[in-house]
């Protein structure tokens, strides 16, 4: 495998949206700026949603206005409706990440409207933007809904095709509450690539049941080269019962690099940023590599072992 992987960071949007304490705007801006120097393809900075629905991103304009834009990094934002799109364009977002769910119940819970109404609203956004800014559409609950259960792959393909027909640049296929398994991921990724390989296809996994990195591997093997992850493994949708963290970016990047895949991310630098995250959110985070170090970072040989080696040499 020699594909180049494009990795997107979502910590200040998906990662922070479920945090109960408001994270200071200064801290969000500083974190995005630190991540901008780590080699990500894209950073999802914030969401232009109702501040009543997601109080954490009520400072979206200020964050977008204050971050340092590094050439080569795309700064994207989550948008649920026309109002959000107007705010996003005003804030000079590089991409609009529109969102709706494949499951009707989750769409009602998260966006307070039926899917048909979301399609109407998002179509209106796509028409209004008229190609001036690239559009990505995130399809939540693509691998299962915590309230409805199974989501048929045909449904995901249908919704994906609808947005492809509307001319979007990319689609993000989201496992909102970590229900996907690797075999299911392989099947859906193959089907999506057969139909829609001309689009930028991104996979967005949550590690709710410990299958996150196995799912990344299954997707890579099915030819997917774009992934979302959250620093420290933070994240989750407050309107999806039982939701928990995204796949941890630094753990996923460490795995991909160990496998010989190129990601463009400076992992040692990213690990330094990750180690500061518990102080920003005020609690421990699930990520593992920031605690253990990379598998190639060796520990010093204990003195007793060196002594033993010398004795063996003399003998």
Cβ-contact 98, 138 below 8 angstroms? yes
Which structure tokens are listed for 112?
Answer: 């307070």
Please give the Cα distance from 80 to 239 (Å, whole number).
14
Given the residues 38, 237, 248, 296, select the one marked as catalytic. 237
* Alpha-carbon distances of 288 from 107, 192, 310, rounded to whole Å: 32, 31, 35
Residue number with CB closer to ligand COA (206 or 226): 206
Contact of residue 80 among Zn ion, ligand COA, none (CB under 5-8 Å per partner type)? ligand COA
Q: For helices 212-221 and 182-196, give the axis angle rounded to 10 degrees.
A: 40
Binding to ligand COA in span 114-173, by CB under 6 A? 140
Residue number with CB closer to ligand COA (39 or 84): 84
Binding to ligand COA in span 31-70, by CB under 6 A? 47-50, 52-54
Instruction: Single out the residue of 258, 251, 200 nearest to residue 229, CA to CA.
Output: 251
How many CA atoms within 13 Å lie on the side-chain side of 200? 21
Contact of residue 84 among ligand COA, Zn ion, none (CB under 5-8 Å per partner type)? ligand COA
Please give the Cα distance from 278 to 290 (Å, whole number).
11
**DSSP 8-state code for residue 13:** I
At 147, is the secondary structure helix, strand, or coil? coil
The region of 67-75, 81-89, 215-223, 249-257 touching ligand COA under the rule CB under 6 A is 81-89
- State in angstroms the smallest separation of the CB of 130 from ligand COA: 19
Contact of residue 48 among ligand COA, Zn ion, none (CB under 5-8 Å per partner type)? ligand COA
- State in angstroms the smallest separation of the CB of 13 from Zn ion: 9
When asked if residue 99 is in the footprint of ligand COA (CB under 6 A), the reply is yes
When asked if residue 105 is in the footprint of ligand COA (CB under 6 A), the reply is no
Binding to ligand COA in span 1-20, by CB under 6 A? 17
Residue number with CB closer to Zn ion (39 or 236): 236
Residue 237 annotated in active site: yes
The region of 37-45, 110-118, 126-134, 244-252 touching ligand COA under the rule CB under 6 A is 110-118
Please give the Cα distance from 262 to 102 (Å, whole number).
32
Residue found by looking up tokens 């801006």 in the block: 29
The β-bridge partners of 117 are none
Residue number with CB closer to ligand COA (58 or 169): 58
Q: What is the CA radius of gyration of the chain?
A: 20
243: Cβ contacts below 8 Å, ≥ 6 apart: 18, 146, 176, 177, 206, 208, 236, 237
Contact of residue 110 among ligand COA, Zn ion, none (CB under 5-8 Å per partner type)? ligand COA
Instruction: Single out the residue of 62, 78, 67 nearest to residue 10, CA to CA.
Output: 78
Residue 183-222 contact track with ligand COA, rule CB under 6 A, x = bound: ----------------------------------------
Instruction: Single out the residue of 256, 76, 102 nearest to residue 179, CA to CA.
Output: 102
When asked if residue 287 is in the footprint of ligand COA (CB under 6 A), the reply is no
Provide the annotated active-site residues: 237
* Site residues for ligand COA per CB under 6 A: 17, 47-50, 52-54, 78, 80-81, 83-84, 87, 99, 110-112, 140, 237, 239
């Amino acid at each position: 495998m020699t594909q180049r992987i494009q990795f997107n960071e979502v910590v200040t949007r998906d990662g922070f949206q479920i945090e109960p304490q408001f994270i200071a705007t200064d801290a969000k801006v500083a974190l995005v700026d630190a991540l901008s120097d780590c080699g990500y393809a894209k950073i999802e900075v914030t969401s232009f949603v109702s501040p009543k629905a997601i109080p954490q991103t009520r400072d979206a304009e200020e964050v977008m206005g204050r971050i340092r834009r590094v050439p080569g990094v795309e700064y994207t934002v989550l948008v649920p409706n026309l109002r959000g799109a107007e705010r996003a364009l005003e804030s000079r977002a590089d991409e609009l990440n529109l969102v709706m769910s494949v499951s009707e119940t989750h769409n009602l819970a998260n966006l307070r409207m039926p899917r048909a109404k979301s399609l109407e609203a998002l179509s209106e956004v796509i028409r209004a933007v008229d190609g001036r800014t690239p559009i990505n559409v995130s399809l939540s609950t693509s691998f299962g809904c915590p309230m409805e259960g199974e989501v048929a792959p045909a449904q995901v393909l249908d919704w994906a095709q609808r947005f492809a027909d509307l001319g979007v640049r990319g689609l993000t296929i989201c496992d909102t509450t970590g229900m996907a398994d690797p075999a299911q991921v392989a099947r859906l990724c193959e089907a999506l690539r057969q139909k829609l390989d001309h689009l930028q296809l991104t996979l967005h996994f949550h590690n709710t049941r410990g299958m996150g990195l196995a799912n990344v591997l299954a997707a890579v093997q099915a030819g997917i080269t774009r992934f979302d992850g959250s620093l420290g493994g933070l994240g989750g949708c407050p309107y999806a019962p039982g939701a928990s963290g995204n796949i941890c970016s630094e753990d996923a990047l460490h795995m991909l690099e160990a496998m010989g895949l190129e990601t463009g991310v400076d992992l040692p630098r990213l690990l330094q940023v990750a180690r500061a995250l518990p102080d920003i959110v005020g609690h421990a985070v699930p990520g593992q590599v920031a605690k253990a170090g990379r598998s190639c970072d060796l520990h010093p040989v204990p003195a007793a072992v060196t002594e033993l080696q010398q004795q063996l040499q003399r003998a």
